[in-house]
Chain A
Amino acid sequence: DSGVTQTPKHLITATGQRVTLRCSPRSGDLSVYWYQQSLDQGLQFLIQYYNGEERAKGNILERFSAQQFPDLHSELNLSSLELGDSALYFCASSGTGLTDTQYFGPGTRLTVL
């Protein structure tokens, strides 16, 4: 158990819908990272938050957004969903920033029908 929790574990929805994925980092970790993993793309970095502020941005679509709350949990919002958004979405956390080792949560499997 990495100490990072993610909910829900599975999510099935339809195209055009909007969903919210939630992540709670390890106790004491300030950074939260979001990744997308699809079968043909490997692990793709989406976005990082550090202590409530956006720190780094990767290959995140404009239809996707994230935020980190004062209690350091984070939410990833995915809107206008398309079939191609079906993937595993992982959250990871680390202590103080980019140089710290990242610990991954169990992931949310999103299926868009």
Chain B
Amino acid sequence: GQQLNQSPQSMFIQEGEDVSMNCTSSSIFNTWLWYKQDPGEGPVLLIALYKAGELTSNGRLTAQFGITRKDSFLNISASIPSDVGIYFCAGLPTGGKLIFGQGTELSVKP
């Protein structure tokens, strides 16, 4: 079946550093979504991407829909302690259902 590979699985960074994570797929996706989940809470939508090559920002967050439509990345600039959480990518293939990556757990040291 279709799979999403999200990396890295976890990151430990210093406050103020930039962060980059990505997702790749063996299939073409029509939509890429990035969510953040705090412990015990539901995933919260950060950025939605609908076109190949699209680059979208939300504050310190920037995400891009890869040209091949098989990948996406999320960058966080100047990280702060409240960025801690698990970040999920999700992709929507043609005629299929939303598929989630396994998540990237981000820890930020003050």
- Identify the A interface with B (CB < 8 A): 2, 4, 6, 33, 42-43, 45, 48, 56, 58, 88, 90, 92, 98-99, 101-107, 109
18 A-B contact pairs sorted by A residue (CB < 8 Å): A2-B42, A4-B42, A42-B101, A45-B98, A45-B99, A45-B100, A48-B97, A58-B97, A90-B43, A98-B97, A99-B30, A101-B33, A101-B45, A101-B48, A102-B33, A102-B45, A104-B45, A106-B42
CA of A88 to CA of B66, assembled, Å: 31
Q: Which residue of B lies closest to A45 (CB)?
A: B97
Q: Which residue of A lies closest to B86 (CB)?
A: A42
Q: Judging by beta carbons under 8 Å apart, are A2 and B100 in contact?
A: no
Residues of A within 8 A of B96 (CB): 98
Other A-B contacts than A56-B97, A98-B98, A104-B35, 4 sampled, CB-CB below 8 A, are A45-B97, A99-B30, A103-B45, A104-B44
Residues of A within 8 A of B40 (CB): 88, 107, 109
Closest 7 CB pairs of A and B: A104-B42, A43-B100, A104-B43, A106-B42, A101-B48, A107-B42, A42-B102
Residues of A within 8 A of B88 (CB): 42-43
Q: Which residue of B lies closest to A91 (CB)?
A: B42
CA of A4 to CA of B42, assembled, Å: 10
Residues of B within 8 A of A98 (CB): 92, 95-98
CB distance from A66 to the nearest CB of B (A): 15
Residues of B within 8 A of A107 (CB): 40-42
CB distance from A56 to the nearest CB of B (A): 5
Q: Judging by beta carbons under 8 Å apart, are B103 and A42 in contact?
A: yes
